[in-house]
Structure 1
Amino acid sequence: MTPGVRILSTILLLALGSIAAFVARALSVPLPFMLGPLIVVGALISTRAARIVPQGYRFPQPLREAFIAMIGLMIGAQVVPELFADLPNLLISFGALTAFTLIALAGNYTLFRRVGGYDRATAFFAGAPGGLYESIALGEAAGADLPRLMTQQFLRIVVVVSVLPIGMSLYLGAPVGSSAGVSMASAPVPWNALPWLALAGFVGWVLGRALRLPAPQLTGPLMVAAALNLAGLVHLDVPPWLVNLAQVVIGTALGLRFAGIGHRMLLRGAALALASVAGMLALAAAIALLLRPLMGVNFDTLLISFAPGGVTEMGLIALSLAADPAFVAMHHILRILITVVAIGALGPRLR
């Protein structure tokens, strides 16, 4: 395949993914800029409804890794000193989140291994209760069955961000989250900040590889952004449009990996995802009940703080409840970081 054909194919795929992303957003699909491209490209690839790429085409790995680094920077940029202002409550939350992560990971592993029949690596990374990008990247490196792993991880997100807002809306008698029209739009990031973002992403990627971190293209930039913020040297803000673009690129690239996935696998994955999410939400509710008298935070806020869903949608629900979205976001960031450490440390043993 000539370089020209490869470049043209990549441009056409990203154009298709962008259209799918905006359609998904118009339809109020969770994580539209990632799930839209993944669903459309994945459906075309898996059903072979259309030959949208030439034989032997592979998505450019450097392009994918560059935008994965942007996601790492985005997560790391949210680790700011203010998150550690209430240290006693933070220590309680850290201990509870660690317990939640390990219990949920063990329960999901058992479910996917015993009931789903997945191999050890696939069951382990598919059961990660957070870290969508991280679990996929680490699972791929550990030899997991990537189509099954992606199916379970995306279904986890879809089920949580669909079921929990509906349940909370019925419980409260009013819409919550994105359906309530709330927004977490932030101030625009100046264009002169982009070179610093590129430099931080590149330095993080180099350090990640040098230190042999798991998924270095993601964990390296994450650590650099968090370190810069906590040290007070530079506060890295990733503009929303760049985050959306990164999700389109990653979603399109992952959609190409869905070759061979049929309706039967999706239905089986959906049943497993429902069982997995039900167990994790029950665990989150139990922990919220235990922490409520210790932390002085109401049950609703603690529940959405521990729910294994997307940071954005859980933050929108917090705004709907007049809760502190920073408190909720802090817990989700900690959950992701704990999950990354846990699967990064334990995952290689399952190779």
Structure 2
Amino acid sequence: MPIHATTLLLLTCSALSGFVGQAIGLPLPFLLGPLAISALIATALPERLPSGYRFPQKLRLMFIAIIGLMIGAQVTPALFTEAHHYALTFGAVTLFVVLAHTMGYTIFRHLGGYDPTTAFYASTPGGLYESIEMGEAAGADVTRLMMQQFLRIIVVVTALPLGLSLWLGAPVGSSAGMTMARPDVPWSDLPLIVLAGLGGLGLGHLLRLPAGQMTGPMALAAALSLSGWLSFDIPQWLVNMAQIVLGTALGMRFTGLSRGLLLRGTALALAAVGSMLALGVVLAVTLHEMTGEAVDVLLITLAPGGVTEMALVALSLQANPAFVTIHHIYRIVLTVLTLGVITRLRQRKG
């Protein structure tokens, strides 16, 4: 089957799974539904995919940019009214990164039996692509490293919305009816949205921003919003489509992995992410006492998941996704900088 036809068929199946997820009240249905169906295809039916098939990266980047624009438009002067709490919240993120990495390393090294290099880079609570790149250069087992890093995000993206839905007694994510998108955006706005997305992608690449495919468009939209020159209204159908594409791309990462390796990796990911989320709960409760911010919002702010996905979860809690995203960007930057320093020290010792 031609590559483009395969991609179209995958996205069709993913879209249908998203509507099914919405009908049964699944949190983030247009993200988790496609993730589940594409992961099932990648692991159970890999022989039905074209040889060497990879989900188109350019398509994924374009839709990540759409989410970035939507989040950046929420950056208004009101966001900075909570700036007096940032020293505490950023301090908590710093502590979280150090302790979460230590716990993850312990689990992968001693429970999983991974070699020290693989365990070190597989347990980072952020900087997915940087961790894989640096780990490969350092001699880590790339297959296990990639698997654990992608599983970290997938487990958080899946477990956190489900857990919050059970705790709050109502679904979170787009199934809760909360959204930054508008249903009545005219089609004439679409070219402007596309141009802004492309401009944001270029900005992220030029400035080498962390998670630049999202933070570049987010920075552009935030600058335009704060200046008052222009604001972005993203149509709901485009937001749903972006989640379908992102969920499918995540699920297809499992292509080629043996079921035994995947099951073992999933068990280790559940242990590592479970310990990280438990740490996040402790820090969130502590911060709640100090700042008065809601525990669930603080937990999302600390969770070691994808920036885009955590911002979407924040919508259901009526929290400003820009507040959540700023802290996740800091987590990624801190993790990558720490990785860079430690990698150089390891190279000197070697």
TM-score band w.r.t. shorter chain = 0.7 to 0.9
Could you tell me which of 25, 37, 45 is aligned with 1:48? 45
Question: Quick check: 2:25–2:171 contact (8 Å CA) kept in 1?
Answer: no
Match of 2:159 in 1: 159
- Residues 312 and 8 (structure 1), Cα distance of their counterparts in 2 relative to 1, 3 Å cut: closer
Structure 1 residue 249: deviation in Å? 1.8
2:248 match? 252
Matched, 1:39 2:39: no
Displacement of 1:338 in angstroms is 1.4
Does 2:337 correspond to 1:345? yes
User: Could you say which residue in structure 1 is the equivalent of 2:327?
Assistant: 335
SS in 2 for 1:86: helix
Distance in 2 (CA, whole Å) between partners of 1:111 and 1:32 is 31
Structure 2 counterpart of 1:132: none
State the Cα distance separating 1:14 from its structure 2 match.
1.8
Once residues 171 and 61 of structure 2 are traced to their aligned partners in structure 1, the CA distance between those partners, rounded to angstroms, is 31
Taking a change above 3 Å as real, the CA distance of residues 250 and 284 of structure 1, as seen in their structure-2 partners, is closer
State the AA in 1 paired with 2:17.
A
Q: Letter of the aligned partner of 2:4 in structure 1?
A: I
Q: Partner amino acid for 2:96?
A: F
Q: Which amino acid aligns with 1:345?
A: L
Partner SS state of residue 232, structure 2: coil
Q: Distance in 1 between matches of 2:296 and 2:67?
A: 28
Matched with 2:223 is 227
Aligned pairs for 1:190-269 (under 5 A) are 190-269=186-265
* Distance change >3 Å, CA 123–CA 198, structure 1 → 2: farther
What per-residue deviation string (whole Å, max 9, x for no partner) do you get for residues 162-211 of structure 1?
23443x35xxxxx24449x8421453333333222212221122222223
Tell me, yes or no, if the aligned pair for 1:20 and 1:36 is still in contact at 8 Å: yes
Measure how far apart 1:245 and its partner are: 1.0
> Identity rate of aligned residues, in percent?
38
User: AA paired with 1:340?
Assistant: I
Deviation, 1:113, is: 4.5
Letter aligned with residue 184 of structure 1: M
Residue 299 to residue 156, structure 1, CA distance change in 2 (3 Å): closer
* 2:319 counterpart (313, 316, 326): 326
Partner Cα separation in structure 1 for residue 70 and residue 121 of structure 2:
25
Q: Distance in 1 between matches of 2:337 and 2:279?
A: 23
Q: What are the superposed Cα offsets for residues 244-283 of structure 1, whole Å, 9 maximum, x if unpaired?
A: 2122223323333312334433433343333334323332
Secondary structure in 1 aligned to 2:319?
helix
The answer to whether the Cα contact below 8 Å between 2:225 and 2:231 also exists between their aligned partners in 1 is: yes
Tell me which residue corresponds to 1:284: 280
Is contact 1:105-1:127 (8 Å) kept? Answer: yes
Match of 2:3 in 1: 6
Shift of 1:88: 1.7
Counterpart of 2:21 in structure 1 is 24
Task: Give the structure-2-normalised TM-score.
Answer: 0.77
Q: CA deviation at 1:287?
A: 2.5
Alpha-carbon spacing, 1:128–1:225, altered in 2? closer, same or farther (3 Å): farther
Check conservation: 2:122, 2:148, Cα contact below 8 A: no
Residues 124 and 335 in structure 2, CA contact (< 8 A), matched pair in contact too: no
Q: What is the alpha-carbon distance in structure 2 between the residues aligned to residue 301 and residue 81 of structure 1?
A: 20
Counterpart among 63, 67, 87 of residue 59 in structure 2:
63
Aligned match of 1:322: none
The alpha-carbon distance between structure 1 residues 208 and 182, as it changes in their structure 2 partners (threshold 3 A), is closer
2:96 to 100, 103, 106: 100
Q: Indicate which of 178, 183, 187 corresponds to 2:177.
A: 183
Indicate how the Cα distance of structure 1 residues 298 and 258 shifts in structure 2: closer, same or farther if over 3 A, else same. closer
SS in 2 for 1:72: helix
Is residue 2:287 matched to residue 1:294? no
Q: Which position in structure 2 is the counterpart of 1:147? A: 147
Give 3-state SS (helix, strand or coil) of 2:328's partner: helix
Deviation for aligned residue 1:8: 2.5
Which letter maps to 2:219? M
Q: In structure 1, the residue corresponding to 2:41 is in which secondary structure?
A: helix
Change (3 A) 1:163 1:336: same
Q: How many residues align?
A: 327
Separation (CA, whole Å) in 2 of partners of 1:57 and 1:298: 43
What is residue 321 of structure 1 aligned with on the other side? Answer: none
The one-letter amino acid of 1:337's match is I
Q: CA RMSD in A?
A: 3.4
Deviation at 1:154, TM superposition (A): 0.3
The residue identity in structure 2 corresponding to 1:96 is: A
What runs of 5+ residues in structure 2 fail to find an aligned partner?
137-141, 345-350
Unpaired stretches in structure 1, ≥5 consecutive residues: 130-134, 170-174, 319-324
Q: 1:133-184, CA deviations, whole angstroms, 9 ceiling, x for partnerless residues? A: xx44545555554333222320122222223443x35xxxxx24449x8421
Quick check: 1:284–1:307 contact (8 Å CA) kept in 2? yes
